[in-house]
Amino acid sequence: MPLGNISIAWGAAGAAAALSASMYYAAGVPSSQVFGPSLVKQSNARAVALTFDDGPSESTPAVLDALAEAQARATFFQVGSNARRLPEIARRVALEGHEIAGHTETHPRFYLCTPAMIARDIERGQRSLESVHGVAPRLFRPPYGARWFGMYPIVERLGLRVVMWSLSSRDWERPAEWIAQHVGTHTRPGDVVLMHDGDTTHPGDRRQGTARALRAILAAYRAQGLRAVTVSDLFGLTT
């Protein structure tokens, strides 16, 4: 009996560990399709899609300048409250030919939210971006890349496509030189690259490192014959 109890105890612990590992994979691993479909990478493309999350911020113009110099296009996953705070910068992104996508209103951690809270924040974010840009985006990325229970029903109701990424720049935790080297050498054709032009968790921490790294990344792409395009162009979406 004691042995049996031990076995049951270990079995329960193992099941719990397996469950949390599979939940981590389902919700957090960018290529996971467990909760629903996500665009991750376009394997037969010759181009790449740079994506910028969490803006607009005071750092966004420097990112736009770097993109314009290289005649590159990108996709910006804007936070609704940030777009309302800086509407001129939010609109400059679209005016310069980049794609606007949704990233919620307040950037919550979905795994701490009820489905109703998730739905409300996504809808408010869409409405904010519509009020700033005159049109609601068709692409969406969850904050922290965390898909969760209740997200896909609202995403489907709003007709949104979910976009994850295949290469992270880790620009929230690394200096410009590291970001440039990492992204410049690891990007492959068809990649969706995660970067940030805003910072929702440390508002005082500007993204100048990302803008500096971006110039070196775009130079590396040019040398490799890689074109930087929007997510919709990369995947051939008619949004």
Q: Shortest Cβ distance from residue 170 to Zn ion (Å)?
A: 13
Structure tokens at 174: 């690394």
In the bound state with Zn ion, the residue whose beta carbon lies nearer, of 54 and 105, is 54
Nearest 5°: CA angle at 87, between 81 and 219? 100
CB of 229 to Zn ion, least distance (A): 21
Of the candidate spans 54-62, 153-161, 206-214, 215-223, the one that interacts with Zn ion by CB under 5 A turns out to be 54-62
The stretch among 8-16, 26-34, 52-60, 87-95 that binds Zn ion (CB under 5 A) is 52-60
Comparing CA positions, the residue from 195, 235, 200 lying closest to residue 215 is 195
Is 133 a catalytic site residue? Answer: no
Among 27, 38, 50, 53, binds Zn ion (CB under 5 A): 53
- The per-residue DSSP string of 129-140 comes to HHHHHSS--SEE
Q: Catalytic: which of 53, 121, 171, 197? A: 53
- Minimum distance from CB of 201 to Zn ion (Å)? 9
Helix, strand, coil percentages, rounded to 5, for the chain: 50, 15, 35
**Options 103, 107, 182, 196, the catalytic residue:** 196
Bridge partners (DSSP) of residue 162 are 140
For residue 53, indicate whether it is catalytic: yes
CA distance 200 to 196: 10
Q: Give the binding-site size for Zn ion (rule: CB under 5 A).
A: 3
Q: Using CB positions, name the residue nearest to Zn ion.
A: 53
Q: Show contacts with Zn ion in window 94-153 (CB under 5 A).
A: 143
The pair of structure tokens assigned to 34 is 């467990």
Helices (H), 29-159: 60-69, 80-85, 87-95, 115-133, 151-157
Residue 77 Cβ, how far from Zn ion at the closest point, in Å?
7
By CB under 5 A, is residue 54 in contact with Zn ion?
yes
Contacting positions for Zn ion (CB under 5 A): 53-54, 143
